[in-house]
Structure 1
Amino acid sequence: MPSRTLSSFTLSDLAFSWPDGEQVFDGVDGVFPGGRTGLVGRNGVGKSTLLRLIAGRLTPDRGSVTVAGDLAYLRQDLTLDPTRTVDAVLGIEPQRKAVHRIESGQGMDDDFAVATGQWDVEERAVATLDRLGLAHVAGTPESLGRTVGTLSGGETMLLGVTAALLAEPQVLLLDEPTNNLDLRAKSRLYAAIDQFAGIAVIVSHDRELLDRMDTIAELRSGELRFFGGNFAHYLDAVDTEQEAARAAVRDARADVRRQSRELVETQTKIDRRQRYGKKTESSIPRILAGERKRQAQASAGKLRGVHADRLDDARRTLTEAEDAVRDDKEIRIDLPDSVVHPGQRVLELDTTLASGQRVELSVIGPERIALVGRNGIGKSTLLRAVSEASPSVPWRSLPQRLDVFDESRTLAQNVADAAPHAADEQIRGRLARFLFRGRDADVPAAALSGGERLRAALATILLAEPPPRLLLLDEPTNNLDLPSLRHLTEALAQFRGALIVAGHDLPFLREIGPTRWLELTEEGLSEIDPPA
């Protein structure tokens, strides 16, 4: 636990642009209060970038971050590097090696400097892993040297949380910490966050986690706004605000119509008076007629100006009211119109997984299978075995690690690789439906954020040729903002092909309409009733 607590930390006039000139922030200010703050916002708005700036992993172009205390940071993309060892992720690899060299009699002066105060580092690491339910991953000092590639995505994420807690920070930054976690692992993570005594800032789309927050910070259009209370309170506040904003737009539009009508009526009256004035000019002296004309023109101009100014004010008020109404762009997912007919054999699998489970699986017709099981039990391994079993229909897979890209090539080039016969205009048009417009389609895959990476992976597999009739999806809801999750759910619910989805998001799995629920355990694969 942190040795002392902080009441807040501050962002002041924070500005940041990427090397290609793309501006992310221009003068962000904010004070993060004590306790737990959920940082929310649309995919690609800059939440992960902001955490990296706070953590010192990126250097701002202008402004400052003031954090008086030790800070620990968990990256969103922790699962992307399978070659790292457990102790490297925990940040204790140098200390372990130094202690081992000293104990073997081969220690140097530098080793003693590194090991001072860290003689029990292995025991503390194993104890923290056990507290988060990872004793089976590294329950002994010797097992701390295993690689992340041998762990499931959920286990790796919990490992990252363990690393952050092991540092005993005053400020804890977590980026999508519940990705890939099963229900039991989530409950352990929730408990660990509840017990943290410092300032926690957590980027997440996990409603249950966000409802445990003390404050919600919304990042929108390069600005931070803070809402007291949890995510439910935040949604209520935004709904109330938007209802008032829409009412203000209605009133402002009515005022614009009224002012436009009054300006037209005023102009009509002025024209009528001018016509009447011309008729009477011949009956009065020329000097008097000229003076009356000048007075009438001045009065008409003043009257016209008053109403024109009122119309301009009404239009400005309408613009301000419309700006307050949220009109966020949302992804549009059109799944391939590929049909698997009832009775059509899609897949036959009879194999033994690397973890030892004997698995038999038949998929016939447009079956929709929800695959569940605890972290590390082998769900991802099973999906790989399915893909290697030569399904009898075109298929595509969305792996948990999202490693479907050539990282050096742009998003448009990656999609073109998957759909070689599609024209560039067609590829870019479809990518726009996933909110990759214009230059966004030319960004290298390696530069995509977590949410962008998932959208890009979905675009790549769904635009592939031939159109997939079997989709294998491994934790497809990770990093998706709530509107995007809704669109994905609706699209999958209407998909007419076969579907196997591995996940821990039970509401999502229920909403896509599984025809079968399968659970993978140590004994193998078995059909279960839908979880309550």
Structure 2
Amino acid sequence: MSTFPTSLTCTSLSFAWPDGTAVFDDLQVAFGPGRTGLVGVNGSGKSTLLKLIAGELTPADGTVRVAVEVGYLPQNVTLDTALRVDEALGVAATRAALHAIEAGDATEEHFDVVGDDWDVEERTLATLGELGLGHIDLDRTVGEVSGGESVLLRLAALLLRRPDALLLDEPTNNLDLYARRRLYAAVEAWSGIMVVVSHDRELLDLVDQIADLHDGRITTYGGNFTAYEEALAVAQEAAERMVRVAESDVRRQKRELIESQTKQARTDRKGRQLAASGSHGKALMDAMRRRAEETAGRNKHLHEGRLDDARRRLSEAEETVRVDEEIRIDLPSTAVPYGRIVLTVEDLEIAYGTGASRALTIGGPERIALTGRNGAGKTTLLRTIAGDLPPVAGRAEVHVPMRFLPQRLDVLDDTLTVAENVARFAPRATNNVIRARLARFLFKGARADQRADTLSGGERFRASLAALMLADPAPQLLLLDEPTNNLDMASVRQLTAALASYEGALIVVSHDMPFLESLGITRRLHLEGGELKEIDREAVGYPS
């Protein structure tokens, strides 16, 4: 591993999207050995920063100095499904040359390819085993593995390269509980430089420090995420106390200014009365008036200056208090009467060899958690219910207006703006109504005019959710596939609150156990071996 004290450095970094939307302006940050958790609200630029360091984006200004070999795991992993697993892992050529030599072909070219990597196959199998992928044959194709397994395959490919630094962008997205545990172990074992973007609290509690990206600046906190939250809470409490003190000072200065003006008014009134009595000579009265005006001017300047200073201190104090915007969702009328059937599934056999489910009926405002291991067919089942995939046999019939938010967030047209995408789903809504509703999803003003292809993962989720929630007619059955994957923790809380007010039926696939527990789940279904099994609602935890 590298011995550079600081190996990833961004100096005076500026970046903006082609439409002019600024992301960074004069950003300074450096990452050295150890594990760093990069946190910040959705759209703050976390993924963009990783792409700049990885060389996938070019800064508008400033420099990115990368003094070591970097491995980068993007948020949305896409692998060619036709590739063999060993090709996806980057060991196919070495493995083929090694097999040729073992078969008796001593061509020099084969030895050049192998180099010193004679244990490539053992290393590869060991790495796959450590990530829980020991069951995957190197000669299989990528198309035969699940989405979660493809994430771990990409990570395995990085680990086999032995880079000095790893950049991981939401690596636990799409991973079941078993796979997450494997990834946590790999993170704990990492001894080089690591920068990880995640909303996974358990993962962030494994890091050595937190880099907080807020308002285009990074502040570093020693310790894991729990320590960061505690430090931030202390800082916020101190900042709020400063605001209260500053507000009190402003009120006092206002009061003293009014008292000074009242006193001066009384003095002026007495002066006028004295002048009217004629008991003093004109010269004396003029001198007294000048002194009074000078004193009044000094007092006014003094108190107004103190009030301005107090207001400035209040403004500075308020700037130290963080107010992170969060999505606010007012759901349309979506009530479903108790007992009304919203979905009927009979003898359903779904695609990709994932088997058949038994009969299933969902009625009224039920809240169903659908769990299962990666590759069990959860996404395929939702897509079949949504009508995106035809069933192999049987039927899945939806009896109410339904909307499906897929894991890939591909409901948006990338060539259209956020507002235009929402208009596609609600053609009868006026532009003003659409923009007013989008403001509650934090797409205010010009943000609603951003093209969908410029959105961050979290922004894309908000835009997709807005498009579905604001659709006409309002959905009475919602299908959500891993909805918290791209959300910061504040937005997860807001999504939970929004779904708490949703009165329709809900089917949600998620490996985020705290999120599922917060939804008030009424039924738990587990998909395994093609069988959809009901789990005792009183059982503790979910099968992984």
Task: Determine if the TM-score, normalized by the shorter chain, exceeds 0.5.
Answer: yes
Distance 1:152 1:428, change over 3 A: farther
Deviations 1:493-523 (A, max 9, x none): 3322221111111111122112211111115
Deviations 1:394-440 (A, max 9, x none): 21111111122222222222222222222222222222211112222
The CA distance in 1 between the partners of 2:96 and 2:439, in whole Å, is 50
5 Å-filtered alignment, 1:293-332, equals 293-332=289-328
Distance 1:100 1:24, change over 3 A: farther
Could you tell me which residue of structure 2 aligns to residue 195 of structure 1? 189
Distance 1:111 1:76, change over 3 A: farther
Distance 1:81 1:362, change over 3 A: farther
8 Å CA contact 2:354, 2:377 repeated in 1 = no
Could you tell me which residue of structure 2 aligns to residue 337 of structure 1? 333
Distance 1:423 1:97, change over 3 A: farther
Could you tell me which residue of structure 1 aligns to residue 178 of structure 2? 184
Q: Cα offset for 1:267?
A: 1.8
5 Å-filtered alignment, 1:137-152, equals 138-140=136-138, 142-143=139-140, 146-147=141-142, 149-152=143-146
Q: Cα offset for 1:167?
A: 2.0
**Is 1:20 aligned with 2:14?**
no
5 Å-filtered alignment, 1:237-316, equals 237-281=231-275, 282-316=278-312
8 Å CA contact 1:130, 1:139 repeated in 2 = no
For structure 1, list consecutive stretches of 5 or more residues without a partner in the other structure. none
Percent identical across equivalent pairs?
A: 53
**Larger deviation: 115-124 or 25-34?**
115-124
8 Å CA contact 1:371, 1:502 repeated in 2 = yes
Q: Tell me the secondary structure at the aligned position of residue 283 of structure 1.
A: coil
The CA distance in 1 between the partners of 2:206 and 2:298, in whole Å, is 60
5 Å-filtered alignment, 1:121-520, equals 121=120, 124-136=123-135, 138-140=136-138, 142-143=139-140, 146-147=141-142, 149-281=143-275, 282-349=278-345, 350-353=347-350, 354-360=352-358, 361-388=360-387, 389-520=396-527
8 Å CA contact 1:6, 1:199 repeated in 2 = no
The CA distance in 1 between the partners of 2:290 and 2:110, in whole Å, is 97
Could you tell me which residue of structure 2 aligns to residue 7 of structure 1? 5
Deviations 1:243-281 (A, max 9, x none): 111111111111111111111111222222233334444
Could you tell me which residue of structure 2 aligns to residue 42 of structure 1? 41
Q: What TM-score, normalized by structure 1, do the two folds share?
A: 0.91
For structure 2, list consecutive stretches of 5 or more residues without a partner in the other structure. 388-395
Q: Cα offset for 1:326?
A: 1.8
8 Å CA contact 1:8, 1:34 repeated in 2 = yes
Letter of the 2:2 counterpart = R
The CA distance in 1 between the partners of 2:463 and 2:112, in whole Å, is 46
The CA distance in 2 between the partners of 1:483 and 1:81, in whole Å, is 34
Distance 1:116 1:429, change over 3 A: farther
Q: Cα offset for 1:205?
A: 0.4
Q: What TM-score, normalized by structure 2, do the two folds share?
A: 0.89
Distance 1:272 1:85, change over 3 A: farther
Distance 1:90 1:451, change over 3 A: farther
**Larger deviation: 352-361 or 246-255?**
352-361
Distance 1:423 1:102, change over 3 A: farther
Letter of the 1:259 counterpart = Q
The CA distance in 2 between the partners of 1:37 and 1:153, in whole Å, is 26
The CA distance in 2 between the partners of 1:93 and 1:337, in whole Å, is 55
Equivalenced residue count is: 525
Q: Tell me the secondary structure at the aligned position of residue 260 of structure 1.
A: helix
8 Å CA contact 1:5, 1:198 repeated in 2 = no
8 Å CA contact 1:153, 1:400 repeated in 2 = no
The CA distance in 2 between the partners of 1:209 and 1:513, in whole Å, is 25
The CA distance in 1 between the partners of 2:428 and 2:82, in whole Å, is 36
8 Å CA contact 1:129, 1:139 repeated in 2 = no
Distance 1:319 1:108, change over 3 A: farther
Q: Tell me the secondary structure at the aligned position of residue 359 of structure 1.
A: coil
Q: Cα offset for 1:347?
A: 2.1
8 Å CA contact 2:79, 2:88 repeated in 1 = no
Q: Over aligned residues, Cα RMSD in angstroms? A: 2.8
Distance 1:279 1:498, change over 3 A: closer
Could you tell me which residue of structure 1 aligns to residue 390 of structure 2? none
8 Å CA contact 2:166, 2:195 repeated in 1 = yes
The CA distance in 1 between the partners of 2:177 and 2:238, in whole Å, is 38
Q: Tell me the secondary structure at the aligned position of residue 390 of structure 1.
A: strand
The CA distance in 2 between the partners of 1:273 and 1:178, in whole Å, is 74
8 Å CA contact 1:174, 1:202 repeated in 2 = yes
Q: Tell me the secondary structure at the aligned position of residue 135 of structure 1.
A: coil
The CA distance in 2 between the partners of 1:86 and 1:405, in whole Å, is 31
The CA distance in 2 between the partners of 1:213 and 1:426, in whole Å, is 44
